[in-house]
Amino acid sequence: MDDMPRAKEPVTVLAGPYGHPFHPILVTVPIGAWVASLVFDLGSLIASGDAAALATGSRWLIAVGVLGAAAAALLGFLDLFAIPTGTRAFRTALVHMSLNLTITIAYLVNFLLRLGQHGPVPAGLIVLSALSVAALGVSGYLGGKLAFQYGVRVADEKDQAAGFGPTSTAKD
């Protein structure tokens, strides 16, 4: 238990202030981009109009997701350094990080395979995207476990309790 307070503090201001880590907000970029790209992929198969436009949009959403994942990973590494080694939280964080790196590489390959393609997205690339989104869900579960179960980079309960006290006329 003596290691827990260490995992709540940022290792540097770049990781975000105490109780407000930047990593969780940045992960919304790749998650949103990659889920939207899968929707565009499926749309390219059923579109009666220009399937190539949806396929192009999907390819660029994948690129945005890869760039967003790189930024989120940099800040995630900073949060990882705050977790004491040899703990369940650290082991969970390593699996979370490994999954995310694998997913990002899969999407980078997916992007490269789409270069020069026109028309509907091939089924194999849609399957790769779907599997990557499924793995992203598993990794997100682990990230949630780090924050909500293990309290990594989350404010101490004594600080959280202040939000449940009575309101006052003074500014909070």
Cα–Cα dist 155/157, whole Å: 6
Below-50 pLDDT ranges, the chain: none
Query: Residue 169's pLDDT is what?
Result: 63
Query: Residue 132's pLDDT is what?
Result: 98
Query: Residue 117's pLDDT is what?
Result: 86
- Map out the domains of the chain as residue ranges: 19-155
Query: Residue 171's pLDDT is what?
Result: 61
Query: Residue 151's pLDDT is what?
Result: 82
Cα–Cα dist 38/61, whole Å: 9
Output the CA torsion 78→80→81→85 (10° steps): 180
Query: Residue 25's pLDDT is what?
Result: 86
Cα–Cα dist 55/120, whole Å: 6
Query: Residue 130's pLDDT is what?
Result: 98
Nearest to 76 by CA among 25, 27, 23: 23
Query: Residue 153's pLDDT is what?
Result: 73
Cα–Cα dist 11/70, whole Å: 19
